[in-house]
């Protein structure tokens, strides 16, 4: 995940290169992430207003992702303000860490992990044939989270160089890309299978179809993770904020993908969201019914039906006078 790593002894020309190539890219990435953060806030507002009857775990998942996105957003703003405004004329501060810069990878990893939990659970509800996909995704997410924390810890270890920690950060993007790619292929197959043989409705524009295949399935997130992974391996330590800027955009796309899927569940191809929720609702209804009747008087279930005997007596007309 995004980390800026610079050796303590650098020349003035190297610091100028750092400002030009690294912080300029990070500032652009922050600008784009601000736009995406506003879009996430709007999507979250729509979801909480329109789908207030969703399962409690989904609503809490959305709130958790939104809180993590907000913390990440505050960290990126603090980085730009501290290094580019407060210490504008103090280039030596560029080699000194700050809480927002050091913890930024942690928030990125947590956003990716929490938001992908929803899709992992939904894919597991589609069919049992996707168990291998679930295993690959779980491994990728856990490895990404572990590499993220290890990359942050490696900054404080004297035995690790800046380039080694940058490589760990790039590897975290790579593991996240593997998990995203596995989920994306599965979701693309499910959407294509659901929409096969059905023409696009009049109320469905080409923008809706583009959102369905590019955003809702995680294609955009996978591409940015792959781009950040390649950039992180290609650039040196003093330029790590270049792929960190891509990490800012990727972090926003995770939350945006989750909220876009939840808000567009009525669109053809999103049946895996509705069907999964319906299955869980039926199970929860049975459990709730049992809990409501646990102390109520119950009739014996094994009793046989009662037999009723009916006898009919007839009298003849002549028998009255005997």
CATH number at residue 193: 1.20.1070
Q: Could you tell me if 267 and 213 are in contact, meaning their C-beta atoms sit under 8 angstroms apart?
A: no
Residue 300 lies in a domain: no
* Lowest mean per-residue pLDDT among 63-77, 81-95, 153-167, 245-259: 153-167
Sort residue 5 into left (φ over 0), alpha (ψ -120 to 50) or beta. beta
Residue 301 domain flag:
no
What is the extent of the structural domain holding 277?
A: 12-286
pLDDT at residue 122, as a whole number = 82
| pLDDT tens-digit readout, 131-146 | 888 899 999 999 999 9
- Does 33 reside within a domain? yes
Q: Using 50, 70 and 90 to split pLDDT, how confident is the model at 192? A: confident
Nearest to 263 by CA among 3, 51, 31: 51
Cα(78)–Cα(85) distance, integer angstroms = 10
Q: Place 29 in a pLDDT band, splitting at 50, 70 and 90.
A: very high
Tell me whether residue 303 is in a domain.
no
Number of domains in the chain: 1
Q: Got the DSSP string for 61-121? A: HHHHHHHHHHHHHHHHHHHHHIIIIITTT-GGGGGS--HHHHHHHHHHHHHHHHHHHHHHH
Task: Give the per-residue SS3 of 202-216.
Answer: CCCCHHHHHHHHHHC
State pLDDT tens for residues 220-255: 999 999 998 888 888 765 566 788 899 999 999 999
Tell me whether residue 161 is in a domain: yes
Residues 6+ apart with CB under 8 A from 206: none
Q: Is the pLDDT of residue 166 over 60?
A: yes
Could you tell me what percent of the chain has a pLDDT over 90?
32
Q: Does residue 298 sit within a domain?
A: no
Helices of type H across the chain: 12-17, 24-50, 56-81, 99-126, 131-154, 162-195, 206-210, 219-234, 240-263, 271-292
Quote the CA–CA distance of 196 and 173 in Å, as a whole number. Answer: 33
Q: How far apart are CA 255 and CA 40, in angstroms?
A: 7
Residues 245/25, Cβ–Cβ less than 8 Å: yes
Note the pLDDT of residue 278: 46
Average pLDDT over residues 156-178: 77
- Angle, vertex CA 282, rays to CA 280 and CA 288, nearest 5: 100
Cα distances (Å, whole numbers) of residue 183 to 120, 193, 219, 286: 8, 15, 9, 31
Query: Residue 273 — pLDDT band, cuts 50, 70, 90?
Result: low
Q: Is residue 312 part of a domain?
A: no
Q: Is there a domain that residue 305 lies in?
A: no
């Amino acid at each position: 995940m995004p980390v800026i790593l610079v050796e303590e002894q650098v020349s003035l020309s190297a610091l100028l290169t750092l400002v030009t190539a690294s912080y300029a890219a990070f500032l652009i990435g922050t600008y784009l992430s601000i736009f995406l953060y506003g879009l996430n806030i709007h999507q979250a507002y729509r979801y909480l207003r329109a789908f207030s009857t969703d399962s409690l775990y989904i609503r809490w998942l959305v709130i958790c992702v939104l809180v993590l996105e907000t913390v990440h957003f505050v960290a990126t703003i603090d980085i730009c303000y501290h290094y580019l405004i407060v210490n504008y004329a103090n280039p030596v501060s560029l080699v000194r860490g700050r809480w927002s810069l050091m913890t930024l990878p942690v928030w990125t990893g947590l956003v990716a992990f929490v938001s992908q939990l929803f899709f992992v659970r939904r894919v597991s509800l589609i069919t049992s044939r996707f168990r291998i996909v679930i295993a690959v995704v779980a491994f990728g997410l856990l490895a990404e989270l572990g590499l993220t924390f290890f990359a942050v810890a490696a900054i404080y270890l004297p035995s690790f160089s800046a380039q080694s920690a940058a490589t760990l950060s790039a590897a975290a993007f790579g593991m996240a890309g593997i998990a995203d790619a596995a989920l994306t292929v599965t979701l693309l197959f499910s959407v294509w299978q659901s929409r096969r043989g059905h023409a696009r409705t009049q109320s469905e524009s080409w923008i809706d179809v583009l959102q369905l295949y590019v955003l809702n399935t995680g294609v955009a997130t996978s591409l940015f993770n792959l781009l950040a992974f390649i950039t992180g391996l290609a650039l040196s330590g003093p330029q790590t904020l270049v792929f960190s800027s891509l990490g800012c955009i990727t972090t926003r796309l995770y939350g945006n993908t989750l909220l876009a899927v939840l808000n567009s569940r009525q669109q053809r191809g999103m049946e895996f969201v509705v069907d999964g929720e319906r299955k869980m609702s039926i199970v929860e209804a049975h459990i709730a019914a049992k809990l409501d009747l646990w102390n109520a008087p119950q009739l014996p279930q094994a009793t046989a039906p009662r037999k009723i005997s009916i006898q009919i007596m007839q009298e003849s007309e002549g028998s009255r006078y005997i």
